[in-house]
Amino acid sequence: MGNICISRKKCINLQEICIFIQKMSEKSTRQAVIRQLISGGDVQNQEDLLGMMQERGFALTQATLSRDLKELGVAKVHDPLHGYCYRLQDSIRSAAGALASGHFSEGIKSVAFSSSFAVLKTHPGFASAVASVIDNHSLKCVMGTIAGDDTVLVILSDGSGRDEVLASLSDIIPGIGNKLNNN
């Protein structure tokens, strides 16, 4: 294959364009299969997912798989039936719907504040889901969250106070104000 010249100084190699298009098509196909496997609900770790992908004929590295998971917005959350599993953002957003109905506040044991932080104590395995929902709502008063198994550290934005944060969290997690630890 030759070159196509757009101007006297700009030429494009057709073979490079074909390779680029082929790689993009492979990536789209690979990510579609990842979505399908994760939607099945039983993928618990990257090693298992990598094996499933290789069984389907995809030759990819763990680093490529990690990038794909990040691009797809996949998170690892606790599932009562399967333990920790990967979930797509769509699944996490449906968890946000559960929040609106008040189910998530039952999983939160307490809320405490300390200067620029809030600490949410949860039932074991629940913290990751709560943190994902808070992060997905992009609250102005919250910079971000860090989740363990049963604890969520909420990092407050500069100038945000306890009352503002608690009000914002109450909008997305009804009943959370009742969990406030006044120590």
Q: How much is the pLDDT for 100? A: 46
pLDDT at residue number 119: 93
- pLDDT tens digits, one per residue of 150-162: 889 999 999 998 9
- What range defines the domain where residue 55 resides? 3-72
Separation of alpha carbons 64 and 42, rounded Å:
21
Query: What predicted TM-score, i.e. pTM, was given to this entire model?
Result: 0.48
Q: DSSP readout, 60-95?
A: --HHHHHHHHHHHT-EEEEETTTEEEEE-HHHHHHH
- Whether residue 107 is found in the same domain as residue 170: yes
Say how many domains are in the chain.
2
The predicted structure's pLDDT at residue 16: 64
Q: What is the CATH number of the domain that holds 118?
A: 3.30.1360.40
Q: What is the pLDDT of residues 114-130, one digit of tens each?
A: 889 999 998 766 787 88
13 occurs within a structural domain: yes
The pLDDT, as a whole number, for residue 99 is: 45
CATH code of the domain containing 7: 1.10.10.10
CA distance 123 to 95: 16
Residue 109: what pLDDT?
87
- In this structure, are 110 and 170 located in the same domain? yes
CB 141 within 8 A of CB 157: yes
Residue 11 lies in a domain: yes
Which has the closest alpha carbon to 60: 97, 23, 17, 13? Answer: 23
Q: Are 120 and 54 in the same domain?
A: no
Q: Which residues contact 117 (CB under 8 A, 6 or more apart)?
A: 153, 154, 155, 156
Q: In whole angstroms, what is the distance from residue 44 CA to residue 66 CA?
A: 14
H or E element that contains 12: strand 11-13
Decide: 154 and 174 in contact? Cβ < 8 Å. Answer: no
pLDDT of residue 118: 93
Terminal Cα distance for the chain, rounded: 73
pLDDT value of position 157: 92
Two structure tokens written together for 65: 């798989």
**Co-location of 45 and 110 in the same domain:** no
The residue ranges of the chain whose pLDDT is under 50 are 92-96, 98-102
- Whether residues 117 and 50 share a domain: the answer is no
The share of the chain scoring above pLDDT 70, in percent, equals 72
